[in-house]
Amino acid sequence: MKRNVVAALLGLAILGGTAFGQASIQFSNYGGNPVAWTSNVALAPAGEAGTLVSASDNFQVDLQWQYGTLNGDAHLAVPVGTPYGPGYFAGGNVIPSPPLSPGLQVTFTVLAWNGADFATSSATGSVSWSQVVGPAGNALNMPTLTVQLVPEPSVIGLGTLGGFALLQVRSRRG
């Protein structure tokens, strides 16, 4: 009977130790660097250049990471501007999958967008950096993330391409 109790306690201790053996990340920039519009007035909405992104700008952020051949994506859409105010977000505690061990040097990327997704948004931004992963609840040392409007192709550029295409077709005929 004593052996069973000792074996059970030992098993619980081993399970408890392995459950806390992976790193988790506190995905928040509160108290750190905010998300802001670019200072380039040509790539920011009128009057917004250099200002913090607000909740009304409808930006969301996601966390991605890479360690060697391991890549991960938290698949989050955390709103910027709530609950801590303009420029800040609180994504909570993220447990990376595949798991990361504390002490690893990991490259993190935060993506920001204000549409349905990063690829189709009218304004985007991203920032990447490397840091050592700590134990559970490790805070990110995220640099400032600036966002900007995605430039549309100019009418002159599209017209020039169309003109060249017409000349090419015409030269093949004659």
Between 123 and 97, where is the model more confident? 123
- Measured in whole angstroms, how far is the alpha carbon of residue 24 from the centre of its chain? 16
pLDDT tens for 65-93 read 998 778 889 999 999 998 899 999 999 88
Percent of the chain with pLDDT over 70: 81
Q: What does CATH list as the number for 22-151? A: 2.60.40
Both structure tokens of 121: 């948004």
Q: Give the residue extent of every domain in the chain.
A: 22-151
Strand partners, 67: 70
Phi-psi region of 103 (alpha: psi -120 to 50; beta: other; left: phi over 0): left
Closest to 58 (Cα-Cα) out of 132, 157, 124, 144: 124
Percent of the chain with pLDDT over 90: 44
